[in-house]
Amino acid sequence: METLMGYFGKYAAAEAGKLAGFQFEYLTTLGFAALVIFFGRFLVSKSKALQKYAIPAPVVSGLIFSLVISGIKGAGIMEFTFDAKIMKDLCQNLFFLCVGYGFSAKMLKNAGGKLCIMIAFAACLLITLQNILGVALAHAIGMNPLLALQCSSASMSGGVGTASAFGPIFEKMGAADATTVGVAAGTLGNIMGSLIGGPVAAYLITSKGLKSDPNDKPEAQRTGEKPTLDNTRMIYAFATCLLLAALGMPIYMLLDSIPMIEMPKFIGCLFAGAIGRNVMEALGVDTRVPETEAIEHMFLELYLALVLMTIDITKLAPVAGQMGIILVAQAIMMAIFAIFISFNLFGKDYGAAVMAAGNCGWGCGSGPNAVANEKAVMDQYGYHDVAWVLYPSFAVIIDDIYNPICLSLMGSFFGK
């Protein structure tokens, strides 16, 4: 039996104070992720409520999966884990590379400088308000302000990556378990951002009678020709993505070398995608946009499935008290901010509603959440080019520049 189980993963016998565990190897893990994707799409196709509120399919099924796995662990039966670290990293970086690849100079010109300024202003304002709210509540409930920062923009706008990066920094300043708190808050933030983005957009669209422009279509569809699968073009597109991802590492190295600023790896890939796309256009090289968009959607679905299905909900219990109060407040503020500030700043139209959903995504978790929220909204209500191509990447870039600076300054003020 042990030999048979070895083909699917690694078994660890129970020890004093620990459950027996089994870690599924990466191919089996991907098989579970595929089931999560299939099941999520099935649930959404059968639920009018999930369609109406534009909840991303992998989020629904991924949460169900993680609840089952955590329930088995909580019941004292066995702890199941999954070998997904490398695949999650690959999916995230290739996904953001493809997002950056859609960031062409032509699109930026069409969007206009005013909108870009409004997006940047809204991002910086949200990050600042999140930290002010977190620290104010921390004083009211007797929580270490550095831990409150971990439950604020570090984990909300910054996600698990930024919270993980600042955890050791805040621990050195005297905040015990700052990394654990930040990762837990970032995990819950991903869930909150996925759940509130769709309903916020649905409320704005329905209450204000907004509609998408039927002439606003993805770049690959503007010619009116139905794209056909071509093996050669797909191979070239995928190889281009891999090459650009590798070229993103020197960019990441340079950005990460900036003092007092923590940069996630995917920012290098995002910049590499944008630079590569515009250089190719300038040289008249075939950009193979339809194939790249297909790669983008595949890696987004897989990334979300892997992230949500591998959440260990049992680890959130020890930090649930004071952290929960701040996170609930952050979620409420995020929804209010998206409806009354983001929507108005972004133009009060259908595109602004889609971007408000994206704002809830990255404002409560991560860039992929923003894109997943927007995709779910557009699948239900219609496409919007600027919201899809410009907003997530541009907002995340502003976030990853301003957020570390804000956290560093406030952390230095409250730290020992």
Question: What integer best gives the mean pLDDT of the chain?
Answer: 87
Instruction: Kindly state whether residue 277 falls inside one of the protein's structural domains.
Output: yes
Q: What per-residue string of b and e applies to 139-174 under the rule 16 or more CB within 10 Å gives b?
A: eeeebbbbbbbbbbbbbbbbbbbbbbbbbebbbebe
Confidence of residue 263 (pLDDT cuts 50, 70, 90): low
pLDDT in tens, 329-361: 999 999 999 999 999 999 999 999 999 999 999
HSE, side-chain direction, 13 A CA sphere, residue 271 = 17
- Within 10 A of 250 (CB to CB), how many other CB atoms are there? 11
Q: What pLDDT was estimated at residue 145?
A: 93
What is the distance, to the nearest Å, from the Cα of residue 283 to the centroid of all Cα atoms in its chain? 33
Ramachandran class of 218: left when φ > 0, alpha when ψ lies in -120 to 50, beta otherwise: beta
Name residue 125's amino acid. Answer: L
Task: Give the per-residue pLDDT at 42.
Answer: 94
Provide the domain limits for residue 401. Answer: 89-220+229-414
Instruction: For residue range 51-103, list pLDDT tens digits in order.
Output: 766 677 887 898 899 889 989 998 999 999 999 989 988 998 898 788 788 77
Residue 307 placed within a domain: yes
Q: Could you give the CA distance from residue 333 to residue 395 in angstroms, rounded to a whole number?
A: 18
Mean pLDDT computed over 105-116: 77
Tens digits of residue pLDDT in 300-318: 889 888 888 887 777 667 6
> Residue 13: inside a domain, yes or no?
no
Q: pLDDT by residue (tens digit) across 267-295?
A: 788 889 989 999 999 999 999 988 998 89
Is 71 a member of any domain? no
Lay out the sheet containing 9-12: strands in order across.
9-12, 21-24, 79-82
Distance CA 163, CA 175 (A): 13
Between 114 and 164, where is the model more confident? Answer: 114
The total number of structural domains in the chain stands at 1
**What are 104's two structure tokens?**
């062409």
Confidence of residue 161 (pLDDT cuts 50, 70, 90): low
Helix (H) or strand (E) holding 96: helix 85-101
pLDDT tens, 189-244? 878 888 899 999 999 999 999 998 887 777 656 555 566 778 999 999 999 999 99
pLDDT tens for each residue of 26-41: 999 999 999 999 999 9
| Beta-carbon contacts of residue 279 (< 8 Å; ≥ 6 apart) | none
- Residue 75 in domain: no
Tokens of 279: 């250089």
What is the rounded distance in angstroms from the CA atom of residue 384 to the CA atom of residue 115? Answer: 14
pLDDT at 353: 96
pTM, two decimal places? 0.73
- The pair phi, psi for residue 112, each rounded to 5°, is 95, 145
Yes or no: say if 345 and 121 are a contact pair by the CB < 8 Å rule.
yes
Residue 59 in domain: no
For residue range 353-404, list pLDDT tens digits in order: 999 999 999 999 777 788 889 988 999 999 998 888 788 878 887 887 788 8
Q: Is the pLDDT of residue 2 over 80?
A: no
In a domain, 297, yes or no: yes
Domain membership of residue 292 (yes or no) is yes
Q: Phi/psi zone of residue 174: left (φ > 0), alpha (ψ -120 to 50 degrees), beta?
A: left
Asked if 95 and 322 count as a contact pair (C-beta separation under 8 A), the reply is: no
Q: What is the pLDDT of residue 173?
A: 87
Beta bridge pairs of residue 11: 22
What's residue 321's pLDDT?
Answer: 85
Name beta bridge partners: 24. 9, 82
